């Protein structure tokens, strides 16, 4: 069975990529992901906040920053969560690239286009094969206009593309009023890949402690539906590669994402739950699903159930929403 695929021009032996998570925080963790079958690894993120702290201007920036920026910082994990500053991060990438035979994808996580963008070039110089930008911006400032929020993504993308030659993916939020147009314009602006979607932090309230509960939760299979819808809609209509992110618990979700049109599928929660070795189970089950239906290669299934190729494209549109509600009993 030929499970190979291409993502942002990178040749991959299979479609399963280890998503950014604590599993890539050590060299041993990275090697285990490779040994377990990951076709590529997206490193845990280097946060804008870690970089700013390293540059000793973080506190100053908090004092002088705009409301929207300062408030958005409250939504990041505590700065001390990751023991690694930029130097350790770059060192780990160097070691990972040397110790493995699969693409290593650096991950930068931030919201402005100043200062931290320089690290894109340094991540490239450290040997990373590609870069993922997680632009985790929560527009809490009610005066911010949609155009201003969107422009932030383009400013960051263009600043990064001007400094690196490796492929650049954007891990995208689903919270745009015209997500399809945003995806199209990001692709036209040079994004080599779009990761659909970022799992935005959504805090809960602890009713006993009356505190905001901000623990990280793992995903469930139900969460594939929103990325699935948009991958199916975008397939074949934009140049950027499509990466599915969210909700994979078994090979079933991987197959669905591929049928919708994903070039690759990223996984984090399922590996945090069962261990990196679970990658082999996912790969075996994926292969079994394909062989049972006489597929010879992954390319044969990609996009078969996309909006463009679906027998009933209306299934992806409003008309189906009405049918679904009417059929509920």
Ligand X SMILES: Cc1cc2nc3c(=O)[nH]c(=O)nc-3n(C[C@H](O)[C@H](O)[C@H](O)COP(=O)(O)O)c2cc1C
For residues 17, 226, 205 and 67, what is the CA-based torsion angle, rounded to 10 degrees?
90
Q: How far is the CB of 159 from ligand X (least distance, A)?
A: 18
How far is residue 128's CA from residue 130's CA, in Å, rounded to a whole number? 6
Nearer to ligand X, 25 or 299 (CB): 25
Q: Which helix (H) or strand (E) holds 282?
A: helix 278-292
CB nearer ligand X, residue 67 or residue 281? 281
CB of 268 to ligand X, least distance (A): 3
d(CA 176, CA 187): 15
| Complex with ligand X: residue 100 or 198, whichever CB lies closer | 198
Measured from the CB atom, is 44 or 316 closer to ligand X? Answer: 44
Q: DSSP for 305-322?
A: TSTTT-S-GGGGSHHHHH
CB 200 → ligand X: shortest distance, Å?
A: 10
* Helices first, then strands: H and E counts in the chain: 13, 13
Closer to ligand X by CB, 9 or 22: give it. Answer: 22
Which contacts of 246-249 are long-range, i.e. CB under 8 A and separated by 24 or more positions? 246/197, 246/199, 246/219, 247/219, 247/220, 247/221, 247/222, 247/223, 248/219, 248/221, 248/224, 248/282, 249/219, 249/220, 249/221
Contact 5, 298 (CB under 8 A): yes
The residue (of 2 and 25) whose beta carbon lies closer to ligand X is 25
Q: Of 229 and 315, which CB lies nearer to ligand X in the complex structure?
A: 229
CA atoms within 13 A on the CB side of 45: 21
Q: Indicate the helix (H) or strand (E) that contains 51.
A: helix 48-54
Q: How far is the CB of 229 from ligand X (least distance, A)?
A: 16
For the CB of residue 119, give the shortest distance to ligand X in the complex, in Å: 14
Q: Output phi, psi for 310, to 5 deg.
A: -65, 145
In the complex, least distance from residue 102 CB atom to ligand X, rounded to whole angstroms: 17
Residues that bind ligand X (CB under 6 A): 19-22, 44-45, 107, 109, 134, 171, 199, 216, 218-219, 245-248, 267-269, 272
Q: How far is the CB of 42 from ligand X (least distance, A)?
A: 7
């Amino acid at each position: 069975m030929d499970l190979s695929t291409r993502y942002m021009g990178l040749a991959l032996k299979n479609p399963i990529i280890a998503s950014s998570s604590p599993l890539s925080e050590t060299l041993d963790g990275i090697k285990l992901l490779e040994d377990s079958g990951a076709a590529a690894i997206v490193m845990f993120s280097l946060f804008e906040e870690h970089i700013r702290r390293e540059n000793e201007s973080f506190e100053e920036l908090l004092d002088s920053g705009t409301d929207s920026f300062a408030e958005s910082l409250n939504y990041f994990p505590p700065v001390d969560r990751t023991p690694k500053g930029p130097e350790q991060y770059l060192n780990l990438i160097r070691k990972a690239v040397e110790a493995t035979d699969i693409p290593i994808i650096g991950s930068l996580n931030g919201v402005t286009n100043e200062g931290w963008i320089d690290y894109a070039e340094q991540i490239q110089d450290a040997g990373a094969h590609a870069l993922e930008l997680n632009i985790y911006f929560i527009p809490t400032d009610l005066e911010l206009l949609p155009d201003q929020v969107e422009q932030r993504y383009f400013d960051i993308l263009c600043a990064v593309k001007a400094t690196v030659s490796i492929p650049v993916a954007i891990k995208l939020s689903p919270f745009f009023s015209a997500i399809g147009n945003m995806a199209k314009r990001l692709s036209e602006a040079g994004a080599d890949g779009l990761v659909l979607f970022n799992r935005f932090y959504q805090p809960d309230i602890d009713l006993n402690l009356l505190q905001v509960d901000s623990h990280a939760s793992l995903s469930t299979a139900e969460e594939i539906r929103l990325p699935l819808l948009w991958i199916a809609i975008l397939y074949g209509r934009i140049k950027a590669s499509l990466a599915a992110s969210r909700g994979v618990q078994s090979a079933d979700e991987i197959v669905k994402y591929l049928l919708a049109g994903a070039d690759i599928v990223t996984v984090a929660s399922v590996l945090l739950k069962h261990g990196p070795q679970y990658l082999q189970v996912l790969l075996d089950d994926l292969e079994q699903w394909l062989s049972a239906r006489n597929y010879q290669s992954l390319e044969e299934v990609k996009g078969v159930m996309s909006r463009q190729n679906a027998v009933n494209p209306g299934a992806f549109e409003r008309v189906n929403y009405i049918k679904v509600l009417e059929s509920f009993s």
